[in-house]
Amino acid sequence: MDREDELLFYVQNRLSERDREAFEERLATDQILAAELAVLQAARNNFTEKKSGASELSVGWADLEGRMDAAQPTAANDNHPIRLGLLQVAAVSAIAVMAWHFVAVPQFAKTPDAFETVSQESDAHVLQVIFSPDATLAETAAFLTQFDGSISGGPSAVGLYRLRFADPEQLESALEAAKANGALFEFVAAE
């Protein structure tokens, strides 16, 4: 038997006469054992004093049980069939998908007036140019303003820009001026 069990059995008066005498002999010489016994006995005495109020606790417990029984019973786990929940989720999902397709998608599908796809033929007249590395923004803007043109695409991987003009006369005039202006353009070609 270990020391803790021996202490507990001594306090509970469960040791045999011979073990009790041996324990009391060791108790007389071992101060630590005596201190442990004193703590255990004090705890037991304190518990027995509090135990007298146990009847008050049982009355409190009975009162609590009575109030719990009188309360409206509610199910702790309301077991609705899972199918109902799944049907609700499926219905909400279907409504959301239909709303998306009939309300949102048509809003996105509208093409703006100025939008053209790459494969669509352009009704304007276009020059393809490569600007020289020394060309400034002011020179480029002045050239485009002079011929009422705009940049409609670029730069490509090789530095090619597309310049759009409203009519063929402006395109011809811009083509001649661009070929003559080697400081602004490295390459010029009509589409």
Domain assignment present for residue 151? The answer is: yes
Domain assignment present for residue 110? The answer is: no
Longest dimension (CA), the chain: 130
What's the mean pLDDT in 131-154?
Answer: 82
What does the buried/exposed string (b/e) look like for 9-24 if buried means 16 or more CB atoms within 10 Å of the residue's CB?
bbeeeebeeeeeeebe
Domain assignment present for residue 15? The answer is: yes
Domain assignment present for residue 146? The answer is: yes
Count Cβ atoms below 10 Å from residue 116 Cβ, excluding itself.
14
Domain assignment present for residue 141? The answer is: yes
Structure tokens at 80: 């609705």
Say if pTM beats, i.e. exceeds, 0.75. Answer: no
Domain assignment present for residue 80? The answer is: no
Q: Which amino acid is at 171?
A: L
**pLDDT on residue 166:** 80
What's the mean pLDDT in 71-93?
Answer: 73
Number of domains in the chain: 2
Domain assignment present for residue 45? The answer is: yes
Dist. CA 108–CA 101, nearest whole Å: 10
Backbone angles phi, psi at 147, to 5 degrees: -110, 15
Domain assignment present for residue 113? The answer is: no
Domain that holds residue 15: 3-51
Residue 183's CATH number: 3.30.70.80
**pLDDT on residue 83:** 74
- Note the pLDDT tens digit of each residue in 27-68: 899 998 888 888 888 887 777 665 555 555 666 677 777 777
